[in-house]
Amino acid sequence: MGVKTEQQALRPPYAQIKGLDKPVSRIFFGTAIRPMLMGENCFELLDAVLDSGINAFDCARGYGRAEHVLGSWIQNRNNREKVIVLTKCGNVGLFGRVRVNRKVIMRELEKSLNELQTDYVDIYLLHRDDPSTPVGEIMETLNEAKRCGKIRIFGVSNWTHQRIEEANRYAKEHDLEGFSVSSANYSLARQLKDPYGGSCVTISGPENEDARNWYLKTGMPVLAYSSLGHGFFNGRFQSGDYEAAKKVLDRPAQKGFLYQENMKRLHNAEVLAKRDGCSVAEVAMRYVFSSPMNLFAIASTTKPSRLSGIISAAHASFPPEDVTYLENEQ
């Protein structure tokens, strides 16, 4: 691992995403945090995020009042051209049903633009896949929204790479723009069960090596959600302490991540955190950025003091032997 200067360590790394006119921080700030979900004033927190160098914000129509809070902050601070706004449509509905079609996309896009108080979204994602809707309908609709200037680029969340290939093949055959980015779960903690319903897609763990190889081959940007295991690596419980974990983790996190395999991975992270003199969260983030994929991590915190650790970890990577050790579940 190369030595980073203090100045470099304080700012996140950046990369270009085709179709966007400004560099994008490798860390997206996730707005699915309680204060924003509840519509509380989070201006000081968002100020700290942008001041840290993180210029990309992950939101969704299904994140309570988060779009409204983010939009109000952008309007108040007059910083729309400084930030990358990502939002999503088509989340899980009643009884776990997902519906994503032309009507849903167009209706929810207009609602998002209104809540965000902006004329356009930089990155627009479909929050879930709806296999009952032909990819042609989806691609035609998203290209229309782009031509109207309402979105800059578009992509998907929780789609398999096979379904992405199908959609992009249609786009190419019909002279349309295809999906540019994909958001999937990727973390040191393996998502062993679907935490939310609606076919949450993970590319973590040995069972998903084919998916990671596809992303590596295509170079498609991966926006890794739950990059810290939905709180599994927040340091508020120790490996093996299931009772403490149940008090800290919400029900989706318990359903998706609270298993023996991940407790072992947490133990390994604790060992490396002690060795390197850092937090378990930093170890988990360093693991994510050790991936050779074109990866961006979505990370959340309600405490600005934790931003520096997340950013520092984004500059670091583990050697292969440390990655192997972290993944060892024996």
- Say whether pLDDT at 2 is over 50: no
Residue 118 lies inside a defined structural domain of this protein: yes
pLDDT at 94: 59
pLDDT at 48: 97
Total domains, the chain: 1
Residues whose CB falls within 8 Å of the CB of residue 99, separated by 6 or more in sequence, listed in order: 90, 93, 130
- Max CA distance (Å), the chain: 55
Residue 278 lies inside a defined structural domain of this protein: no
pLDDT, tens only, 227-243: 999 999 999 999 999 99
Residue 259 lies inside a defined structural domain of this protein: no
CA distance 326 to 330: 11
Here the CATH number for the domain that contains residue 46 is: 3.20.20.100
Question: Mean pLDDT across the chain, nearest whole number?
Answer: 94
Residue 250 lies inside a defined structural domain of this protein: no
pLDDT at 196: 85
Q: Between the CA atoms of 73, 75, 77 and 83, what dihedral angle is there, to the nearest 10 degrees?
A: 80
Residue 321 lies inside a defined structural domain of this protein: no
pLDDT at 97: 79
CB burial of residue 19 (10 Å; 0-12, 13-18, 19+): middle
CA distance 176 to 144: 10
Instruction: Provide the domain limits for residue 163.
Output: 6-232+285-314
**Higher local confidence (pLDDT), 36 or 92:** 36
Residue 72 lies inside a defined structural domain of this protein: yes
Residue 204 lies inside a defined structural domain of this protein: yes
- Say whether pLDDT at 3 is over 80: no
pLDDT, tens only, 168-216: 999 999 999 999 999 999 999 999 999 987 689 999 999 999 999 999 9
pLDDT, tens only, 62-121: 999 999 999 999 999 999 999 999 999 998 775 667 889 999 999 999 999 999 999 999
Task: Answer for the pair 329, 264: CB distance below 8 angstroms, yes or no.
Answer: yes
Residue 48 lies inside a defined structural domain of this protein: yes
pLDDT at 8: 42
- Say whether pLDDT at 6 is over 60: no
What proportion of the chain, given as a percentage, has pLDDT over 90?
Answer: 91
- Say whether pLDDT at 283 is over 80: yes
